[in-house]
Structure 1
């Protein structure tokens, strides 16, 4: 616990965490307004006027529980990006400020240091999740009433989406720490993770689309292997037609977290930090 406390102190004694927190607020506002606008458009679409292969998806996304789940989990896309970067910086800061050697001299068991950083990153991610969730709980009911829909706070699907959203934040924090170990350069890690997170989904979807068109339709289902798509799947209120179950998205993201966390710990145990 002392190591975790030390890692949290490293975060909260710098301006970085509250700069990220301040950035989170306008990004959250943008997200919930976008989700509200999307719900407005979806509710006005006549499913009978669209292609048959899209009608079921449009009808499902237009269900009140899915609209509500989307609004109550607003801010995930940008929120986990900030957590991803902040978690990576928690590691790369040690190399940027040349404190890694001192840290590992004080605590020779390197895996304990990495575990402490993982725990600190997860706690920080849950703090970001809590802020966005409280904001959503305050604003989303008003937006749902504007759409003529019930607030859905008694629906189990909504609370499952909120809970899985917390899991997504925590898992992305673990991925960030692992990535920070793999890419020790602070600038390099920030740029790589930002570009990979924002551009990666588009590239993955394009590749899977081409494979599904020219190889086999099975590849349509494999887009969930892209981590951003997996975390978005987790927060749907119900199972969506043509998409894997929500638990598949959770398993994919858990897999990425385990792989990056284990690889990061093993590399840090062996890597020269002088």
Structure 2
């Protein structure tokens, strides 16, 4: 616990965390505005000229009020997990940037314990960001749904499952950030690599899988599980969607990635020359 408190203290005594916090709030608001208009289209597709013949099974599933509600209650995940991943990167790279890594490992020579402390601190930070956005979503989403003529759906287990799995996604992405920070010591290098990997992987996978699905069938969509950004979004769909892997599969893959990332990061930190 002392190591975790120490790592949290290091985070609190730098300006970076609150800069990210301030950035995340307007990003959350912009995402909520986008999801509001998207929800309007989904709940009343005829109002924007979407013909009935284009409303396939997957569109109808996404437009189910439960799934619309789940999407709004988990609003902000796409950019939110990117923020917590970058914070995870900084938890590690700050040690090298400020040249305090040697002092840290001399004070606590058991490197595994230090890495575990950083993993735990990053996970706590990720959960804090999730908790803040979740509270905001719980305040504004019922108002939006009421305005769209839909109940709050807070009595639906699927909605609370989506909220819980969203918290798991935040926690796991924070751990991924630790992994990036261990692999790439440079703070700028690790940050840029993490951003490019997340955004380019997400956009590239959507285009690539969409092209293949058009040629080979919807079963290709099952491959989205190998892309962490898509797997974490799959976790918060509310209910399982036609042509897509189940939510539990997305969660299982993300946990697997986190375990691998955490293990590799620990092994590298134990063997690498810190000085």
Same fold (TM over 0.5): yes
Please list the CA deviations of residues 144-199 of structure 1 after superposition, one character each: whole Å capped at 9, or x if unmatched. 01110000111111100000000000011111101110011100011111111112
CA distance in 1, matches of 2:168, 2:91: 20
CA contact 2:218–2:243 (8 Å) conserved in 1: no
**SS in structure 2 at match of 1:50:** helix
Alignment of 1:113-262 (within 5 A): 113-212=114-213, 218-262=219-263
- Residue 74 (str. 1) matches residue 109 (str. 2): no
In the TM superposition, residue 220 of structure 1 has moved relative to its aligned partner by 2.8
Which residue matches 1:3? 3
Q: Distance in 2 between matches of 1:155 and 1:48?
A: 30
Q: TM-score, normalising length from structure 2?
A: 0.95
Distance 1:217 1:36 in 2: 28
Q: What are structure 1's unaligned runs of at least 5 residues? A: none
Match of 2:53 among 42, 46, 50: 50
> Matches of 1:217 and 1:43 in 2, distance apart?
24
Number of matched pairs = 272
Confirm or deny: 8 A CA contact 1:48 1:55 kept in the other structure: no
- Contact kept? 1:157, 1:238, Cα under 8 Å: yes
Normalised TM-score (structure 1): 0.95
User: Does the 8 Å CA contact 1:239/1:246 hold for their aligned counterparts?
Assistant: yes
Contact 2:96–2:186 (8 Å) recurs in 1: yes
By how many angstroms is 1:78 displaced? 1.0
What are the within-5 Å matches in structure 2 for residues 9-88 of structure 1? 9-45=9-45, 49-51=52-54, 55-88=56-89
Cα deviation for residue 217 of structure 1 reads: 6.0
Q: Alpha-carbon deviation of 1:206?
A: 3.0
Q: Please report how far the alpha carbon of residue 106 of structure 1 lies from its aligned counterpart in structure 2 after TM superposition.
A: 0.7
Q: Which runs of 5+ in 2 are unaligned?
A: none
- Give yes or no for contact 1:201–1:226 (8 Å, CA) kept in 2: yes
Whole-Å separation in 2 of the counterparts to 1:211 and 1:36:
30
Calculate the aligned-residue CA RMSD, in Å. 1.5
CA separation in 2, counterparts of 1:164 and 1:148?
26
Q: 1:142 deviation in Å?
A: 0.4
Q: 1:263 to 1:108 in 2, by over 3 A?
A: same
Tell me by how many angstroms 1:216 deviates: 7.4
* Distance change >3 Å, CA 111–CA 249, structure 1 → 2: same
Measure how far apart 1:236 and its partner are.
Answer: 1.0
Looking at structure 2, the residues matched to 41 and 33 of structure 1 have their Cα atoms a distance apart, in angstroms, of 13
Residue 224 of structure 1 and its aligned partner are, at CA, apart by 2.1
| CA pair 158-12 structure 1, distance change in 2 beyond 3 A | same
Check whether the contact 1:74–1:136 (CA below 8 A) recurs between aligned residues: yes
